[in-house]
Structure 1
Amino acid sequence: MSEPARPDVPQQSEQQQPEQQSDQAPARGMRALTGEEFSAAQAIGGVRGLVEAVLPGLVFVVAFVIFTPNLVIPLVASVVSALVLVVARLVQRTPVTQALGGLLGIAIGVVWAWTSGEAENYYAGGLLVNAAYLVVLLASILIRRPAVGYVVEALRAGLTPERVKADAEAGTSPFAALTAWREDPAKMRTYAIATWLWVGLFGLRLAVKTPLYFAGDIAWLGTFHLLLGVPLWALVLYLTWYVVRTPKVRGETT
């Protein structure tokens, strides 16, 4: 769920970094949680990020509906579309992390469906990943260590390997911010609420898609896979940003 934001200067204080972010464009992915502004388009990587997230799954569903009961064509078409997205980034010399991540997810689903001969297993890996996230996030709330708190505080502290190394050389603990917030009841409540949002996201996905998976209803399973994918993720990311930002803004204005 997280990719730490890279600070411009490793030795900057935690107080300076949020102010510096306010002059920057809205961040992408989970890094958007620490921005002063939120842009859903920027968070998902713009039109290109949306295409990379949606296209392979959309191609699979459409091809499956057209060529049923042939499973080979939808699987091959999905892989080819994911490969094209990776190659396009390589040709343009742009970061390939998101495209490669999508390709890996598609590859797992394709292998599972191909070896089992069951089209619904194209989505089995995603269901298992969602279930794992749900268990971890729910457990973090129950033990009073809401996971979103660690993600947000790590991003605000700018924890990267370079930052950790620099702080270690300076004789300071780079991980202090990851636990200090737990002494603040207001932050604990805020991060618990934010974590519940993500529990709801993964719970909703499982509640809707699992029955369709066991029913083997590929058309509807694929449709809800898309609808509950990027759009829902972006919505929950925005709500999380609003929840974790609001106490900070109120504190500054009182």
Structure 2
Amino acid sequence: MIDQRRGRETDLPTRPEPAAAQPTLLDHMGGPMGFVYSTVPVVVFVAAGAFLPLPMTIGVSLAAGLALTGFRLLRGERFTSAIGGLLGLAIAVGIVAWTGSAKDFFVLGIWMALAGFVVTFGSVLARRPLTGVIWNLMHGNEHAWRADAVTLRAHDVATLAAAAVFGARFVVKEWLYLADSTTWLAIAKIIMGTPLTVLAALVVLWAFRRTTERLVPQQRTRPTGS
């Protein structure tokens, strides 16, 4: 009887384990806290600059950056991710200390936006949109993706979306930089930072999925016999 019961129990279908939740796009970008991490140093610098002389503003900003980095490490984030924000802050305040102008806190981001626009838009003009190049590298660099008109068009759209974000950031921030508006530079950095990045990333993700569906053979699962 015991063996028969065991036999019956093994014949019963087992419940499949629930699939692990796939990380969302926002998760890949650090989640909601990623937006906070990119915002806090800017807010601290501008707020301190409104009441303190420049050397003290730099000191307060670095102290806040160190505290934020320590908090991120305590939360278990990767060292490279946590230290990257501190490194960017150190470069920004280093430029401010060198030039003596608070608005130069944003100059690195302005020129990085221009460089991003030149690279992305230039790749479209060269008929090698950057998102397509990246997708192909991620898939062994073995697909003739440019020979497929639909795929090439999708990556044109995705790369132009990235170029539009970079171009908008450069134009707006450069205009505010020339107008000596440090406060509005901070507001523009926050508004045109993570939100625009998410929008562009959604378009890139769409192009990646479309390319994968067209060029990568899909493995079909066979039904298991009884």
Q: Deviations over 1:181-220 (max 9, x none)?
A: 1121111111011000001000110111101111211000
User: Matches of 1:96 and 1:47 in 2, distance apart?
Assistant: 19
Q: Is the 8 A contact 2:73 2:82 kept in 1?
A: no
- Tell me the alpha carbon deviations over residues 54-87 of structure 1, each in whole angstroms, 9 at most, x when there is no partner: 21112112222333xx212332222222212222
Q: Does 1:216 align with 2:199?
A: no
Aligned amino acid, residue 57 of structure 1: V
Gaps of 5+ in 2: 1-18, 219-226
TM-score (norm 2): 0.78
**Once structures 1 and 2 are overlaid, which stretch shifts more, 77-86 or 103-112?**
77-86
Structure showing greater relative contact order (alpha-carbon pairs closer than 8 Å, 6 or more residues apart): 1
Deviations 1:3-44 (A, max 9, x none): xxxxxxxxxxxxxxxxxxxx66444xxxxxxxxxxx343132
Asked if residue 199 in structure 1 is aligned to residue 163 in structure 2, the reply is: yes
Q: Residues of 2 paired with 1:103 and 1:73: CA distance?
A: 18
Largest Rg, 1 or 2: 2
Aligned to 1:85: 68
Equivalent residue, structure 2, for 1:143: 126
Which one of the candidate residues 41, 49, 55 is aligned to 2:40? 55
Structure 1 equivalent of residue 54 of structure 2: 71
Deviates more, 1:236-245 or 1:57-66: 236-245
In the other structure, the counterpart of 2:204 is 240
**How far apart, CA to CA, are the structure 1 residues paired with 2:201 and 2:43?**
23
Deviations 1:103-144 (A, max 9, x none): 111111101111110111111111111111111111111110
5 Å matches for 1:2-13?
none
Q: Which moved more, 1:240-249 or 1:55-64?
A: 240-249
Unaligned runs of 5+ in 1: 1-22, 28-38, 158-173
Q: Which amino acid aligns with 1:238?
A: L
Q: Is the 8 A contact 2:131 2:158 kept in 1?
A: yes
Q: Give the CA deviation at 1:226.
A: 0.9
* Identity across the alignment (%): 31
Structure 1 match to 2:142: 176
Task: Report the equivalent of 2:112.
Answer: 129
SS at match of 2:127: coil
Match of 2:12 in 1: none
> When the two structures are aligned, how many residues end up with a matched partner?
198
- Label 1:26 to 1:45 Cα distance change in 2 as closer, same or farther (>3 A): farther
